């Protein structure tokens, strides 16, 4: 028997009612949208943090942010340094800058807009995030398509067209099965199904509530869907970070707002980027001691960052600050420079 769109959505929501993940930013299945001004803020914050980041990594950051800034008005009053330091280690730092911009705009508006179109006009909110907030925070019917949903729909309807061309068809099929009621629960059910059952490798089809309706399973080898273009090899880049000490302090700089790790506190370096190796001058003339190198992978490149150390007699060039070495963990260094700092401290 052929399953209808209504069959699919009701089956999935029934499964979600029993198997929904217990997450700190979620409302229990089937419950009305909370009558709490901070609820849209919590949904928005979680969705921004979850972009290209795992649930396990996000949980402690979400709890930290909501403890320090319990609502959007509180976050809007924070300084960029405070937000960037709290975000340090979560990666994709443009999200943190947009988080602050968006909080200030929403605070000026008096709260989050409820419509998907209005949400998309806010800083840092693309089609997916706007739809997710509209559905989950406000109970609007919105079609929410992230990577998990994309995979589920491609398999459910056996969509063999390669990505990214298949995304139009995937969205159309997702639209067809999104219910009028409980759209937020449906969106989260699709996400949960993709993360726990319909996984990218070795999908657990025998446990899937949609197994009987899945055209990809019937065709065999559902794990090959969605069809993706071959990955391009990431370029290798090299750079140097400078650990400059003076009287128990280390010289830290704030990176320019645009570009990689923009706006973050960091060690000075030689100007490496995803496009080219570092070649700039050292920030101070000194007898540099080579400490080794750290390795880090970004979205667009692999980086090998050499770390050198020296005692400073002259003030380094450019703006910066002397930070107490014993409080380096409080500096909010991004993961790359935290690795470099650990290397420098390990060589003491």
Which positions are annotated as active-site residues? Answer: 47
As a whole number of angstroms, the distance between CA 69 and CA 41 comes to 10
How far apart CA 270 and CA 277 sit, in angstroms, is 9
- Return the number of other C-beta atoms located less than 10 Å from residue 271's C-beta: 13
CB 321 within 8 A of CB 269: no
Distance CA 264, CA 334 (A): 7
What residues contact 214, with CB distance under 8 A and at least 6 apart? 155, 156, 205, 208, 222
Peptide bond into 164 cis (omega under 30): yes
| Eight-state DSSP code of residue 269 | B
Q: Which residue has the tokens 């990955």?
A: 231
DSSP codes joined into one string, 165-209: TTHHHHHHHHHHH--SSSHHHHHHHHHHHHHHTS-SSS--GGG-T
């Amino acid at each position: 028997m052929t399953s209808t769109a209504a069959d699919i959505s009701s089956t999935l929501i029934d499964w979600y009612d029993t198997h929904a993940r217990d997450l700190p930013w979620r409302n229990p299945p089937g419950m009305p949208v909370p009558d709490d001004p901070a609820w849209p803020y919590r949904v928005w914050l979680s969705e921004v943090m979850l972009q290209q980041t795992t649930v396990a990594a996000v949980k402690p950051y979400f709890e930290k942010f909501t403890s320090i800034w319990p609502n959007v008005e509180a976050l809007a009053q924070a300084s960029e340094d405070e937000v960037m330091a709290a975000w340090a280690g979560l990666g994709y730092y443009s999200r943190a800058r947009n988080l602050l911009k968006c909080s200030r705009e929403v605070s000026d508006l008096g709260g989050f807009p409820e419509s998907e179109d209005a949400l998309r006009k806010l800083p840092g909110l693309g089609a997916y995030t706007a739809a997710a907030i509209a559905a989950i925070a406000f109970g609007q019917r919105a079609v929410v398509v992230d990577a998990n949903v994309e995979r589920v729909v491609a398999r459910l309807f056996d969509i063999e067209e390669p990505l990214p061309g298949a995304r139009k068809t995937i969205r159309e099929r997702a639209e067809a099965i999104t219910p009028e009621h409980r759209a937020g629960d449906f969106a989260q059910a699709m996400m949960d199904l993709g993360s726990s059952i319909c996984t990218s490798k070795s999908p657990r089809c025998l446990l899937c509530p949609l197994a009987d309706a899945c055209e990809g399973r019937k065709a065999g080898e559902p794990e090959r869907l969605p069809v993706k273009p071959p990955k391009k090899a990431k370029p290798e880049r090299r750079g140097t970070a400078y650990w400059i000490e003076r009287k128990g302090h280390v010289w830290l700089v704030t990176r320019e707002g645009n570009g990689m790790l923009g706006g973050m506190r960091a060690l000075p370096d030689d100007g490496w980027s995803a496009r080219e190796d570092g070649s700039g001058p050292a920030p101070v003339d000194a007898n540099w001691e080579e400490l080794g190198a750290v390795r880090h992978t970004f979205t667009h490149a692999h980086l090998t960052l050499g770390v050198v150390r020296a005692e400073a007699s002259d003030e380094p060039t450019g703006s910066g600050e002397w930070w107490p070495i014993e409080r380096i963990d409080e500096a909010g260094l991004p993961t790359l420079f935290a690795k470099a700092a650990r290397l420098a401290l390990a060589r003491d």
